[in-house]
Structure 1
Amino acid sequence: MVLNSILKCMFSPRLIQMYHNASERHYKPLPLEKWSDRVIRSFYIAWKFGLYTSPFLGVILYSRNYLLPQTLWEVSKLAAGMGVLLFVTFCTRALGRSMNFTYLEFLDVLTKAQENITAHKADLMVYDFDFSAWPVEYDLSGTKSSANTLVETHYKGVIDYVTSIPLHVIAYLAIHSFGIRLIYPGSLKFLQSILESRLLDGRATLIEKYRGQRYKLKTADGNTIDTMFVNFRQPYNNSGILVICCEGNAGFYESDIMYTPLADSLNFAVLGWNHPGFGSSTGVPYPGQEQNAIDAVIQFAINKLGFKLENIVLFGWSIGGYTAAWAAMTYPDIKGVILDATFEDLLPLAVNHMPKWWEPIVKLAVRRYVNLDVAQLLLKYHGPLRLIRRTQDEVICLQQGDLTTNRGNYLLMKILKHRYPYVFEEKQQMLLLQDYLSHVLDKDKMQLLQSEFNVANLEELSNNEHFLFLKRSYAQEYTKSYPMKLGENFNNKQKNQLVLLLALWYMSDYDATHCAPLNPRKFQLPCTIESQNTEGTQEFLWN
C-alpha cells in the first residue's frame, strides 16, 4: 500500500496553493518534498537556459577546445552522475508527498476530475497545481488548423537564390534559438520563475475575488492554452458582452490587461489567456501557434461558453494586437476591436533595436518567420475599431520622446487611407493627419478643430453645419464594407474636416508609458461614426 502510494506520487504534479482558506493559501510540503522539488526545478531551469544559449555556448566550447573526444567522455560521466542524482531526488520527493495527508487528498480530487471534469470541476478549482495535469476541457486537436503564416520569397534568379542561402540559415537559427525569446521575453522560463509569486497572487485574486473559472484548451496543433473566464457580477449568463484579452510580449492574464475590463465601472464578462509558452500554456509563440491559440479561445467562447460572435470584443495590448488583428480578420462579425499601444508592423521596431549590420538578417528573419504585420491584417477587417496611443510610450516609438515616431501613428494612417481612399487622395490630407498626430496636448488638437470648423469648443461642434453634413454623409455611405466612397465629391475643406473627425473617432490618447495599466475610463467600446453623439466625441478627446 505504501509502495503504491509512493509510485503514484513519483511523477504527480506539484501542488502550489489552495483557495478555500486565504489565510493559509500556500501549500506546506514536508521537508523531503520541499528540498527535492527545489533541486528538480533547478535542473529544469539550468536545462532551459542551456537550450536557449546553446548556439553561443557551442561556439565558446569549440573555441576553447572543449569538444574533443576525451572532454566529451568526461562530460558524459558527469551527466550520468547527475542523472542518478535526479532519480534519487524524484524518489525522495515522492516519499515526502506520500506522507502528506493534504497532498494525498488533492491527488484523490485530481484523479476523479481527470475521469470526469464536469462533475468535479468545483472541487478541482480549490487547488492550484502544475497545469500539465489539468484535464483538457475543450479540444480542437485533430481539426483543420486556421493558421496561415506562409510568406512567399521571390528570387531574381539562381545566383540570387544560392547567395541568399547563408542568410536564410543564419536567420532560421537566430529566430529558433534566441530570436523568438527576444520578441516574446515572457516565454523565458527563468523570467517566469522570477514572476512566479506575482502570477500566483494574480491568479488567486481572479479566482477568490472575481470568482474566475480556469480552463484548459487544446489547439489544432496540439498546444494546451491556460485560460481564465470571469463573469462575476451576476448569475452566469451569456447574453452580455465578452471581452477577450490578448496580452503583450511579457504579459500574463494573471497580472496585466485582464484587470482593465474587470473594473467596477464596467460590466463585461472577460476571457484571458496566455500565449503559447507563457505561464502554463505550452508551445512557443511563433505566429502559427499564436493564431491557433486565439482561434481555440474564440471557438471555446462560442461553443463552450455560449457567447454569440457579435457580442465578442477583442482587446489587444502591444504585441497582443497581432493575435487580436488576426482573429478580427478571421472572425469579421465580432462586435469590435480595441488595440492599446499597438504597432503597425514588427519589422521597423526590430530593425531599430538591433545593430545596423544585422539589418539584412533581421529583415529576412522577421518577414520569413515572425511576420507580425498588424496593419495588413486589420485592412481585411471591416468592423468597429478603436486605437489607444500612449503619449509617453518608450517601446513602440523609434525615438524615445518623439511622438511622431510612435508606430501606432502609422497603424492609424494605413487604416484610414485604406478605409477612406477618397479622403486621402491628395497628399494634403495625410500631412494634416500627421500634423494632428504630432500633438501631445489636447489643447493643440482643439486648435486644429477650431481652425477647421470655426468653433470655440466641442459643445459647439455638434451644432456646426459642416459637422452635421459630414456625419450625415458618413451615415448615408456607411455599408459595413471598405474601402468607402465617402469624400468622393468633397472639397479640400470638407476633406480636412473629415480627417480630423476620423482621427478623433478612431484613436484616443492616454498620457502614460507603454506598460502602465490602462485606466478603465479609456476602455470604450468601438462603434461607427454615425452612432456617435457629442458626449462621446468630448470624452474621446479629453479623457
Structure 2
Amino acid sequence: MSVPQLVLWFRCVFGPKLQRIHRQPEQNPAERNVTTHAAGGVRERQGLPYQPRSLERHTESILSWASFLWSVSYYTSPLVAFYLYRKGYFCMSKLVPVGQYAATLIIILFGVACLRGIGRWTNPEYVQFITILEETKKSQTPENKKRLACYNFDFHHWPVDFSWEKVSSRKTKTNGVSLLKPEPKYRGSADSMLSSVSKLPCQIVSYLIAHSFGRRMLYPGSFYPLQKAMMPMLIQGQIRLVEEFGGQRAKLLACDGNEIDTIFVDRRKIQGERGKKIVICCEGNAGFYEIGCMNTPLEAGYSVLGWNHPGFAGSTGVPFPQNEANAMDVVMQYALNELGFQLDDIIIYAWSIGGFTATWAAMSYPEVSALVLDASFDDLLPLALKVMPESWRSLVTRTVRQYLNLNNAEQLCKYQGPVLLIRRTKDEIITTTGPEDITSNRGNDLLLRLLQFRYPKVVTGEGMQAVREWLSASNSVEEASLYSAYEVDDEWCTSVLQSYQADQSKPFPWCVGEDMKEGRRQLALFLARKYMKNFDATHCTPLPPYEFQLPWTL
C-alpha cells in the first residue's frame, strides 16, 4: 500500500458515517414549486441512501451497538457503581481483571474500526466523499462547500461555516469567552461566612440536581438514547428540507466553543415580501429543526432559519441557559452578517421552552421586526414546582433560580416591538393544575406581565379583572360574548392609543388611561385580544401555516 493510499485508508477509518447522497435537481428547488412532473417538466434526480458494502455494513452495526451500550452504561453508571460497591467489587483483586477485560474490548473495537475503514476504502462513493470533505476543510471555497452539501453525514465532522469571532463582539470578555449576560444568581441577601458554609451542602445538592437529571428533565431532547431512537425521523426531516426546499446546512461556532447545527431556506427570490423576511425559529425542549416548528413559517412562505439547541442532534454542548443564549447570539449574527438580513427583516418565532432564547434575542436585539411566542410560559419555577414533591420546594427554587432560570416574562418586558402570544386552549404541559383548567395556563401570566408593564394604568384594578375574565373563556364563543357584553369598540380603542402615541412618542411603559374615568375595561380587553390569540389544540399539536400571523402593530 503506497503512502497516499495509506493516508486515504486512515481517513476512512476515522471518517464520519455517510448516510445519504443528495441529488440536486437541475433547477434549485427553492426557486420553483416542489412538483415532480412525469414528462415535459423539470427533470429531477432523487437523492439516494448511501449503500455501504458488506464489510462496512456489518462493522458499522457492531460499532453502533457498542456506542449505544456505552451511552446506556454512562447514564446508569451511578446505579451500577452503587450495586458493585454493595457486592464488594471495589477491591484491587477484582478491579484488575475488569481493567484487562476493558482493554481487550477496546483493542477488539479498534480492530473492527480498521476493518470498517477497509470497507469504506474499497467503496468509490465513500472515497469520493472523504476526498471532498478533506478538500473543504483545507479550503472552504463556495465550490467546495456546494459539493460537500450534496452529502448527509455525521455533522460533528462538518467544517465550521461561521464563527462569532468573525464579527466584532459588543460584549465584554472574560477568560476569552464572551459573556452575553451574567449567570443567574440565587436571589438572596448578602451572606456571612458562617451562613455561606451552612448553605454549602444545599448548593452542592442543587448543582448535582441541575447537572444530572434536572437538565435532562428540562431538555429531554439532549438525552442521547432518545436522539438515537428519533434518528430515522430526523434524517427524513433533513432530507425534506434539503432536497425539497433547498435548505443550506451550516455549522456555527458560539463564543463558548459549542458548535450549533443550523439550516437556512432562502425564499427571497420567489415569495415576494414574505420571502424577504426571515423567521428564526426556536424549538421546544424535545424539538429539532428537522421535525419542529420551523415547518410552520416555511409552509407559510417565509425565509426560515432553524437551529438545534446545544446537545441536540448535530449541536454540541449542554442546554444550560447561558449556553442557550450564546447559541442564539451566534445564530443572530449569522443571519445578519452572513445571510445578509437586516434587523427589521427578522421575525423571531418560538415554541414552548424556545421562548427563553426568543425573548433573550428580542431583549438583546431590540430592533428585530416582531416576536411570536407559541405555547410559551412566563417563568420555569411554577412548572418545576408542579412536578416535584412539595417537600422539595426550597431545593427546587434554589436549583431553578441558580442554574435553570428561564425568566421569559422578565426578558420579554425589555423588548419594545410587536409581540403575539399564541395560547393552546387544551395545553397539558404549561398548566399547573391540568389542561381542563385554562386559567392555570402560564401563558396567561406571560400576557398579564407584558400588559402590566406596557400599559400599567390600563391593566390594573377593573382592567385587570376584565382581562382575567377574558382569559378564563374556554372557547371563541365565550370570548366573543364577553367582548360584546363589555361593548368594546375597536375603533375607539385604536384612536385612544394612536392619540397617546402621537402626543407622547415615548417607549413603554405608557401612561395611557391615567386620567380615564370610563373605558379602562374595554381598552384592557382590546389590548389582550390584540396581544394574544387562542389555538384550540394541545401543547404538541403543530401550528398550521394559516395560524402563523405577524403581531398587531398600532
Amino acid at match of 2:22: Y
Match of 2:535?
510
Amino acid at match of 1:483: P
Counterpart check, 1:168 vs 2:171? no
Structure 1 range deviating more: 6-15 or 52-61: 52-61
Match of 1:35?
58
1-side partners of 2:132 and 2:511: how far apart?
61
2-side partners of 1:475 and 1:311: how far apart?
24
SS of 1:260's equivalent in the other structure is helix
2-side partners of 1:63 and 1:501: how far apart?
65
Counterpart check, 1:490 vs 2:516? yes
Match of 1:327?
361
Structure 1 range deviating more: 304-313 or 70-79: 70-79
- Equivalent of 2:7 in 4, 7, 18: 4
- Equivalent of 1:84 in 104, 107, 114: 107
Q: 1:136, 1:216 within 8 Å by CA — same for their partners in 2?
A: yes
- Equivalent of 2:390 in 356, 360, 366: 356
2-side partners of 1:217 and 1:370: how far apart?
24
Q: Deviations over 1:219-255 (max 9, x none)?
A: 1111111100001462699981110000000000001
Counterpart check, 1:422 vs 2:445? no
- Equivalent of 2:318 in 284, 291, 306: 284
- Deviation of 1:52 after TM superposition, in Å, equals 3.0
Q: 2:267, 2:302 within 8 Å by CA — same for their partners in 1?
A: no
- Deviation of 1:157 after TM superposition, in Å, equals 4.0
Structure 1 range deviating more: 41-50 or 343-352: 41-50
1-side partners of 2:198 and 2:334: how far apart?
46
1-side partners of 2:214 and 2:92: how far apart?
31
Match of 1:201?
236
Q: Deviations over 1:8-30 (max 9, x none)?
A: 21111111111118656211111
Match of 1:126?
150
Q: 1:477, 1:484 within 8 Å by CA — same for their partners in 2?
A: no
Amino acid at match of 2:277: I
Amino acid at match of 1:316: A
2-side partners of 1:82 and 1:256: how far apart?
39
Match of 1:102?
125
Q: 1:383, 1:480 within 8 Å by CA — same for their partners in 2?
A: no
- Equivalent of 1:140 in 138, 143, 164: 164
Amino acid at match of 1:348: P
Q: 2:160, 2:253 within 8 Å by CA — same for their partners in 1?
A: yes
SS of 1:368's equivalent in the other structure is helix
Assess, with a 3 A threshold, how the Cα gap between structure 1 residues 382 and 57 changes in structure 2: closer, same or farther: farther
Amino acid at match of 2:143: A
Match of 2:294?
258
2-side partners of 1:97 and 1:121: how far apart?
22
Q: Deviations over 1:403-441 (max 9, x none)?
A: 111110111111111111111342x32222111101121
Amino acid at match of 2:255: A
2-side partners of 1:280 and 1:372: how far apart?
23
**Seq. identity, %:** 40
Q: 2:68, 2:225 within 8 Å by CA — same for their partners in 1?
A: yes
SS of 1:423's equivalent in the other structure is coil
Match of 2:91?
68
Counterpart check, 1:52 vs 2:75? yes
- Deviation of 1:159 after TM superposition, in Å, equals 4.4
- Deviation of 1:92 after TM superposition, in Å, equals 0.8
2-side partners of 1:158 and 1:437: how far apart?
47
1-side partners of 2:510 and 2:78: how far apart?
51
Q: Deviations over 1:312-351 (max 9, x none)?
A: 0100100000000111110011001000000111111111
- Deviation of 1:39 after TM superposition, in Å, equals 2.1
Assess, with a 3 A threshold, how the Cα gap between structure 1 residues 64 and 419 changes in structure 2: closer, same or farther: farther
- Deviation of 1:507 after TM superposition, in Å, equals 0.3
Amino acid at match of 2:163: D
Assess, with a 3 A threshold, how the Cα gap between structure 1 residues 13 and 433 changes in structure 2: closer, same or farther: same
Assess, with a 3 A threshold, how the Cα gap between structure 1 residues 371 and 490 changes in structure 2: closer, same or farther: same
RMSD: 2.1
1-side partners of 2:407 and 2:380: how far apart?
6
1-side partners of 2:85 and 2:177: how far apart?
45
Structure 1 range deviating more: 33-42 or 347-356: 33-42
In the superposition, the TM-score normalised over structure 2's length comes to 0.89
- Equivalent of 2:371 in 337, 362, 383: 337
**Unpaired runs of 5+ in structure 2?**
25-44, 166-175
Q: Deviations over 1:500-523 (max 9, x none)?
A: 011101000001111111011221
Match of 1:458?
none
Q: Deviations over 1:350-377 (max 9, x none)?
A: 1111222222222111111110110111
Q: 2:279, 2:304 within 8 Å by CA — same for their partners in 1?
A: yes
1-side partners of 2:323 and 2:181: how far apart?
8
Amino acid at match of 1:136: V
2-side partners of 1:88 and 1:480: how far apart?
70
- Deviation of 1:527 after TM superposition, in Å, equals 3.3
1-side partners of 2:94 and 2:394: how far apart?
37
1-side partners of 2:106 and 2:61: how far apart?
16
2-side partners of 1:216 and 1:474: how far apart?
46
Amino acid at match of 2:322: G
- Deviation of 1:126 after TM superposition, in Å, equals 0.9
Assess, with a 3 A threshold, how the Cα gap between structure 1 residues 441 and 159 changes in structure 2: closer, same or farther: same
Assess, with a 3 A threshold, how the Cα gap between structure 1 residues 209 and 477 changes in structure 2: closer, same or farther: farther
Match of 1:312?
346
Amino acid at match of 1:314: I
Q: 1:40, 1:89 within 8 Å by CA — same for their partners in 2?
A: yes
- Deviation of 1:469 after TM superposition, in Å, equals 4.4
Amino acid at match of 2:370: G
Assess, with a 3 A threshold, how the Cα gap between structure 1 residues 430 and 213 changes in structure 2: closer, same or farther: same
Q: Deviations over 1:269-297 (max 9, x none)?
A: 10000000001001100111111100000
2-side partners of 1:373 and 1:254: how far apart?
27
1-side partners of 2:271 and 2:143: how far apart?
18
Match of 2:262?
227
Match of 1:534?
none
Assess, with a 3 A threshold, how the Cα gap between structure 1 residues 79 and 258 changes in structure 2: closer, same or farther: same
Structure 1 range deviating more: 113-122 or 495-504: 113-122
SS of 1:84's equivalent in the other structure is helix
- Deviation of 1:60 after TM superposition, in Å, equals 3.3
2-side partners of 1:510 and 1:478: how far apart?
35
Counterpart check, 1:275 vs 2:278? no
Q: 2:238, 2:290 within 8 Å by CA — same for their partners in 1?
A: yes
In the superposition, the TM-score normalised over structure 1's length comes to 0.91
Assess, with a 3 A threshold, how the Cα gap between structure 1 residues 364 and 57 changes in structure 2: closer, same or farther: farther
Alignment of 1:363-382 (within 5 A): 363-382=397-416
Q: 1:477, 1:486 within 8 Å by CA — same for their partners in 2?
A: no
Assess, with a 3 A threshold, how the Cα gap between structure 1 residues 236 and 468 changes in structure 2: closer, same or farther: closer
Counterpart check, 1:246 vs 2:249? no
| Corresponding pairs, count | 517
Counterpart check, 1:443 vs 2:477? yes
Match of 1:457?
none
Structure 1 range deviating more: 344-353 or 470-479: 470-479
Assess, with a 3 A threshold, how the Cα gap between structure 1 residues 132 and 436 changes in structure 2: closer, same or farther: same
Amino acid at match of 1:485: C
- Deviation of 1:32 after TM superposition, in Å, equals 1.6
Q: 1:321, 1:339 within 8 Å by CA — same for their partners in 2?
A: yes
Amino acid at match of 1:103: Y
Match of 1:523?
548
